[in-house]
Each structure stands twice: as structure tokens, then as C-alpha cells.
Structure 1
Amino acid sequence: MLKVFIVDDEKYIRDELKYFLGKRDHIQIVGETGDGQEVMELVEALEPNLVFLDIQLQNMNGLLLARKILDLKNPPYVILATAYNEYAIQGFEINVADYMVKPFSEDRLKLAIDRIDKQKNNGHKETIETQEMDFHKLCVSQNNRFILIDIGEILYIESTNQGISVYARDEVYGCNYSLKELEERFKKKRFIRTHKSYIVNIDFIDEIIPWFNYTFKVKIKGKPDIEIPVSRNYLKKFKRIVGM
């Protein structure tokens, strides 16, 4: 059984999706909402296998929601939906399962569901774009432009309620990956997760400062006012990697 949750602030879109999906015997619609503020609570409560998610919700950024959903411990598949093709590259960068442009056709929806059924039956997830290469650049955004920067130029990465910020030597960029995805992407590079909200480039750690409850903070080269926490959840691995 494929449990589906639908997020779109247009009721007729939700009704159209329910009509098409209702033709598939193995699909169960477990919930729907047009309110972006309640999405995470409902996803965690209903535990769907698949979320249809509108990018352009009135009260929430759908791309930010997609990142939060995919950062869950056992995330569902996510299919992004929008009326505009221009958001496709951002969908690729988030690594969602599929990307559909409105208005939906029944054939296109069938293709998306068949693809997810195949992945689910095979016991693994694939994404709509590049399976991992040993890639030394990261796609980031600034002023509505997408830029490829060298990973070695990144000082640290921070997750906030507004999204992911990538701090390079002289610039700050946005990024559509979650920290969990970046941690996996950089696991063979010289980066380390120090906190639920931070990943740090080891080459730019200038000083490690003892903090309370046997934790630490790290200072970044060239950024004397920046102190990044090392929480207890990541302390053991951090100390092993830096040789403390």
C-alpha cells in the first residue's frame, strides 16, 4: 500500500489528484491540507510514503518544506508540483523523487507513481537527478542566480528557520540541500558535522575552545567573531577526527 499525503492550497488541485490517484487500488490517501504551517505536524503524524507538495503555497515556501520533510529520519518520497518550469532546477538540487508541472495529466501522474512503486519494491530510493559522483563543486544560489562554487572554498554551513546558508571566504549563499544531505555528500571530504545546525570545513578551524558541560566551540580562520558549537551528540566523532 502506498500512503499519500497531498499539500496544495488550491482545493480543486487536491480533488483532481485524489480523483486520479483513486483509480489505483494500492494507493490510500491518508490526508490533505492547503495550509503550509501544519504540513510537518501532519507528515510526522500520518507517516505517508509519498507527499505531493505544491512549491507555491500562500503561507509557506514549498521548497523549504521539502527540505524539512526529506531531513526526517525516515522521509517519504516527495513529488514537487508547480505551474512554472523555472523551479525545476531547484527540485533537482533538493533530490526529490519527481517534479510535475501543472496542469497534471493522468499519464504523467501514472509515470510518477510507477517510478516510485518500482523504487519502493526494489527497497531503495533514487532521485530525479545526478546520482553521486566525486564532485568537487556545490550548486548554490545568490540573487536569483545559481552558481557552482568549489567545495574547498566553503568555511561552514548553517541551517536556520529560513533555510541553508553556505559561508564561503567572502560570500554567503543559499542552498537547496538539507544538512543531512550535505553531510552525506561531504562524508569523504574534509567536512564535519558539529551540531544539528552546523557543518564545518576542518581546514578552516582555527581554535577549539572548551565550553560548558564538556562541550566545545570552534573559531573559524579569518572570522574572529564566529564561534560554532560542538554539541555532545557530535563530540565523540569530532574529537576522534581532529585528534583530541
Structure 2
Amino acid sequence: MIAAVANSVLSVMIVDDEAPARARLRDLLADMALVLPTEVLAEAGNGLLALDAIAGRRVDVALVDIRMPKMDGIELARHLSALEYPPAVIFVTAFDAYAVQAFEVNAIDYLLKPVRAQRLLAALQKARQNRPLTSTQLVQRQQAARTHLSCHERGRLLLIPVPEILYFKADLKYVTARTRDREFLLDESLTHLEQEFGEQFIRLHRSVLAAKDAISGFEKSPSDDAETQWQVMLRDIPDRLPVSRRQWPLVKSYVRQAAS
């Protein structure tokens, strides 16, 4: 038998797209209340809903399924790690194929369904003892491209769907992501964005990546800068983006192939 721990309550968020699975975890947490008191502060059926549910709250542990619609558990864990007080993540899934990815996002534990009470208790005790790394401490790893990027703005965590981003532009220490409606400041590296989203974006210039499907045409640059004789026109917005002489053959070739 595992001895009872200190009587402080561990706050928990449960994220699973199946209601019976969420109910099962609630029941297990209730059964172990005398050994490890917990309080379920939030529940959600996918990663997007989970980020809404956790907004303004400080949660100790997130029990997260992996295969979920709209935003899966792996991507959710990456966004949670960017919070000021990131919860410890314990994956609870029916699939064993994601274990490597789970620990690459610094998950505390990886539980397979059906979850046994003793196994869940051990994972929660581990979470209590080991706080997860913050986003500034995480090592950059090769992972599947994200579906959303996150932006901190006036105390809120905003999510930007990647398909809505028309271009990224580097300026000093920040990168701007431009959608049809507005700009977002990202704490991201243009180089890392190019590595992660190279299938969707093309480099126009040392400071600019454009969404391939956002390019609507080219026009001569009005400036006298010999380095940028051409600029890209974009769908939906009037912005013009410079194309460097070095990148011009690649960009022109891509557009010709896409049009053929």
C-alpha cells in the first residue's frame, strides 16, 4: 500500500473527447481522495477547449488523452508548456504509439487505458514532486507541425490557426504573424518556423516567410534596392513582401509549378 501524502489538494484538469473516459478518471480520483486529495477544476473534450477552460486558472496537473479532434494532446501539451504556470501533463490514452512524442514534450507519465487506480496514483505523486519545465527551458525537438501558434497578449493566451497566417516577418527579437484581420507578435524564431512549416511557407527574404497558397502574383519593386527587385502580392490584404535576388528563382519556380 502507498502511504498517504501531505493533505494539500492537487488541482486537476481532465481532457478527453469521450465523456465516459472523463467520468472514469473522476471516479478514480474520488476513490483515492483519502490518500491524495484532488479537485477537478476543469474538463474539456479537445485541446482547444482545454486552453479556453484553463484560461485564468492555475492547474497543477492535466490528464490528457492524445487522439482528439481539432487539437490533439501532443500539441496541447506544447501550448500548456508556454503558460506562466504550466501544469504537469500526464497522458492517458488507449494507444502506445505516442510514448516517444509524449516524453519529448516533457510529460510526467504515460498511462494506457484502462487506467488502474494505483498506476494513476503513482503518476500523480510523481507530478507533485516534479514540476514541468517552462517553455524557455524546453529543448527544441523535431515534432509534427503545430496546427496553432500561441501569442501572449495583455495577460491572455491567444491561439492563431496556422492556415490563417499569410506571412511571418522578422523584426529585431520578435516575429510578426499576419492574418487577414490583424498582426500577432510571436516569441518564435523565423528559422524554426521555416523548419517546422516548410511544407506550407516559402522564404522570400532573410526576414520573410510567406504562405505558399497566399501568393497571388508579383510586381516590380518601387524601391531602388538592387537586392529586392520584385515583391510578392498576397490574397486578401494589400501588403507587399520583398523577394530577395537570391530567393527569386526559387519563388518564381514554385509559383509556375503551382499554376501548371
TM range (shorter): 0.5 to 0.7
Match of 1:13 in 2: 21
* Residue 2 (str. 1) matches residue 10 (str. 2): yes
* Residue 115 (str. 1) matches residue 126 (str. 2): yes
Superposition deviation, residue 218 in structure 1: 11
Superposition deviation, residue 37 in structure 1: 3.2
Higher helix share: 1
Match of 1:52 in 2: 63
Instruction: Report how many aligned residue pairs link the two structures.
Output: 164
Equivalent residues in 2 for 1:63-78 (5 A)? 63-78=74-89
1:85 to 96, 99, 104: 96
State the identity as a percent: 26
1:190-209 per-residue CA deviation (whole Å, 9 max, x = no partner) reads xx9543253156xxxx9679
Q: Which moved more, 1:58-67 or 1:15-24?
A: 58-67
Matched to 1:94, the amino acid is V
1:103 to 78, 96, 114: 114
Matched to 1:57, the amino acid is M
Superposition deviation, residue 117 in structure 1: 2.0
Higher strand share: 1
Superposition deviation, residue 125 in structure 1: 3.9
> How has the CA–CA distance of structure 1 residues 57 and 28 changed in structure 2, closer, same or farther, with 3 Å as cutoff?
same
Match of 2:33 in 1: 24
> How has the CA–CA distance of structure 1 residues 49 and 218 changed in structure 2, closer, same or farther, with 3 Å as cutoff?
farther
Answer yes or no: is the 8 Å Cα contact 1:21–1:27 preserved in 2.
yes
- Larger radius of gyration between Structure 1 and Structure 2: 2
CA distance in 2, matches of 1:82, 1:49: 20
Matched to 1:98, the amino acid is D
CA distance in 2, matches of 1:208, 1:64: 26
CA distance in 1, matches of 2:128, 2:105: 20
Superposition deviation, residue 101 in structure 1: 1.3
Normalising by the residue count of structure 2, what TM-score does the alignment of the two structures yield? 0.51
Superposition deviation, residue 65 in structure 1: 1.3
> How has the CA–CA distance of structure 1 residues 83 and 208 changed in structure 2, closer, same or farther, with 3 Å as cutoff?
closer
1:181-237 per-residue CA deviation (whole Å, 9 max, x = no partner) reads xxxxxxxxxxx9543253156xxxx9679xxxxxxx9999965689xxxxxxxxxxx
1:40 to 51, 57, 74: 51
Superposition deviation, residue 118 in structure 1: 2.2
Matched residue SS, 1:99: strand
Equivalent residues in 2 for 1:50-199 (5 A)? 50-119=61-130, 124-125=131-132, 139-140=141-142, 161-162=147-148, 194-195=174-175, 196-199=186-189
Answer yes or no: is the 8 Å Cα contact 1:31–1:46 preserved in 2.
no
Matched residue SS, 2:55: helix
CA distance in 2, matches of 1:89, 1:51: 18
> How has the CA–CA distance of structure 1 residues 87 and 222 changed in structure 2, closer, same or farther, with 3 Å as cutoff?
farther
CA distance in 2, matches of 1:59, 1:222: 38
Superposition deviation, residue 33 in structure 1: 2.2
Answer yes or no: is the 8 Å Cα contact 1:4–1:49 preserved in 2.
yes
Normalising by the residue count of structure 1, what TM-score does the alignment of the two structures yield? 0.54
